Amino acid sequence: MKSFEYNALTTKSSWLISCAICFIMAMMNHAFLLAQALDFKAVHAEVHFDKKLRPWDGFGFNYVETAQTMDYDKDPQEYGGFSLLNEKQKQEIIEMIFGEDGLKVGLVKMFYDPWHQKEPGGKFDHERSTAHMRYFVREGLKKTRTRGANLEIITTLYGPPAWATQQKFIRGRDIDPAMKEPLADYMVSWIKFLREKEGFPVKYISLHNEGEDWERWPTDGSHGNIGTGHDYNMFWSPQLVNEFILLMRDKMDKQGLGMVGVTNGEPTNWFRFSSWGYADALYDHEEVLEKLGLLTSHGFYVGAYNNRWFGPHTSEGVDMLREKRPLLKAWVTSTSWSAMDTKFAKEMHGNIYTSKVNGIIPWAGIQRPPLWVGGDPNPGSAFTIHENGTYTVRPGYYMYKQLSRAGQPGMAVARTISMDSQIALIAFASDNSEHKDAFIIINWSNDNKKVAVSVHGTGHTKFDTFISTEGDRDPQGKLTGNGDKYKALGKTEVKDNVLIFDAPKGSVTTFFGTN
């Protein structure tokens, strides 16, 4: 009897083991077939909504009002262009950015220009040079809250007043050591104004705008490169950044602004942040790193070894600091719209997956081109304001809409794979938010490509699909604007855990879970 029971159990165990082996082999075979992606006729790709890489705070927008003028009394620059539009036009743009059917951005950047205080300790005027930017944020916040959401605002010291520098002129290179505390007070006053007078939910103060770029001045710092096209600036060494993080934290705490975090300022790109000593200085100073509220940098990408602007995407500095503070977040606070094409979307992919950020705010989304001295070196945007009081919605808007609507605040960046370097995938998992799982396919090649996406970790079997395409280009290679403008393609089904999509050349396509 015992022998029989033993044999029976052995037989049953063998059968279970055989079934398990068959199942594993079947799964391996299925994976192998997927890897071949329709017998080499499609790009194999994967989206893993259940493998969350980091929290996502959202995409954002930046209205730039005063950026370059060296004398605001004589030249009250208004680069954003709202001063040329009527109320109806402005509200149309506000709706397209913040509204339910618009970009639905969750982040906003506000620059703090040098024209708010004529001398240290003097009277502040926070309204004169910021009226249109504040209108933009005020109306955008109202629109955002109407749809049940909110904004997170970061404000950046664009450049200090002349009195804060040793040179005593706008764009002076070096800080006057005696003016450190007055400059900190200059920043604190602006934060209090925005939070208490305007009621804006300012969450972070950023110390500088590309202040690492010491080559923007002559070796003796004798002039500020006036007229070269650069915006406001001052040189910020890694040591000065550390000093001001502590100074600002102390002053804001004493002013009841403990809810506002201090960032490290905004180098030109994550490569400079990582390689020029800024990340190392933070890493080596325990108190500074503890009091740092957010990592910030611009995300401009230059991957070729062509000139001094070289700067690929990297997470070296971010990774190092997260060794000590694993939950430390990082935002891109300015990045190019490039040619407003699919490579713009690919650069976003690089900032998210290679630089490992939690949020992205591109460079000025609304531009009035004649008011940028020498021509804007980053001329892409979502809107152009014309001198005759009209505006144009540009191709960049429709490319950005693919990204911004998919990656809403409160979601999580999810893992993706693509076996074709010209096909990039970005995925955002719901992560218990009200938003549906979503992913994006970017085809930045000149060829139509079939993509077989293996979809994991979601209950969705159908995805609402929207596409934006580059369309034609003029003889100079610029987009003519006749591409698909966030066109609805209906529902795309997932069958046997695979979604198959024919991605047109030069296209960005978003898939939103529907069930």
Residue 402 lies in a domain: yes
Residue 328 CA from chain centroid, whole number: 16
- Determine the Cα–Cα distance for residues 157 and 151; give it in Å rounded to an integer: 20
Judge whether 124 lies within some domain. Answer: yes
202 and 341 in a single domain? The answer is yes
Size of the chain, expressed as the number of residues it contains:
515
Q: Which of 369, 380, 376, 394 is nearest to 339 (CA)?
A: 380
Dist. CA 413–CA 61, nearest whole Å = 20
* 31, part of any domain: no
Of 409, 435, 470, the last residue of a domain is 409
Higher pLDDT, 1 or 40: 40
Q: pLDDT tens across 53-104, in order?
A: 999 999 999 999 999 999 999 999 999 999 999 999 999 999 999 999 999 9
Q: Provide the number of structural domains found in the chain.
A: 2
Asked if the structure places residue 403 within a domain, the reply is yes
pTM: 0.93
pLDDT tens for residues 394-433? Answer: 999 999 999 999 999 999 999 999 999 999 999 999 999 9
The CATH number of the domain where 450 resides is what?
Answer: 2.60.40.1180
Share of the chain above pLDDT 90, in %: 87
Could you tell me which residues come within 8 angstroms of residue 392 by beta carbon, excluding any fewer than 6 positions away? Answer: 383, 384, 386
Cα–Cα distance for residue pair 190/443, rounded to 1 Å = 43
Q: Same domain for 439 and 391?
A: no
Q: Report how far residue 472's alpha carbon sits from residue 483's, in angstroms, rounded to the nearest whole number.
A: 7
* pLDDT at residue 31, as a whole number: 53
pLDDT at position 11 over 80: no
Q: Are residues 502 and 476 in the same domain?
A: yes
**Mean pLDDT value across residues 339-356:** 97
Last residue of a domain, which of 409, 425, 447? 409
Residue 249 lies in a domain: yes
Considering the domain architecture, whether residues 423 and 473 belong to the same structural domain is answered as yes
Amino acid identity of residue 510, one-letter, is T
- Positive or negative: CA dihedral 70, 367, 470, 297: positive
Has residue 328 been placed in a domain? yes
User: Looking at the structure, do residues 304 and 400 belong to the same domain, yes or no?
Assistant: yes
pLDDT score recorded for residue 440: 98
Mark residue 472 as left, alpha or beta (left: phi above 0; alpha: psi -120 to 50; beta: remaining): beta
Query: Of 389, 409, 429, at which residue does a domain stop?
Result: 409
Please say whether the beta carbons of 408 and 104 come within 8 A.
yes
CATH of the domain at 73: 3.20.20.80
pLDDT given for residue 205 in this prediction? 98
Domain shared by 253 and 142, yes or no: yes
What is the longest distance spanned by two Cα atoms in the chain?
A: 106
Whole-angstrom Cα Rg for the chain: 26
| pLDDT for the residue 381 | 97
- On whether both 396 and 464 belong to a single domain, the answer is no
Q: Mean pLDDT lowest for which of 153-157, 190-194, 369-373, 466-470?
A: 369-373
Full domain range(s) for residue 331: 58-409
Q: Does 222 lie in the same domain as 99? A: yes
Q: Per the domain annotation, does 11 fall within a domain?
A: no
Are 65 and 211 in the same domain?
A: yes
Based on the fold, state whether residues 374 and 476 are members of the same structural domain.
no
23 lies in some domain: no
Residues 259, 341, single domain; the answer is yes
**Residue pair 264/317 in contact by the 8 Å Cβ criterion:** no
310-345: pLDDT as tens digits: 999 999 999 999 999 999 999 999 999 999 999 999
Kindly state whether residues 47 and 146 are assigned to the same domain: no
Looking at residues 188-205, what average pLDDT do you find?
A: 98
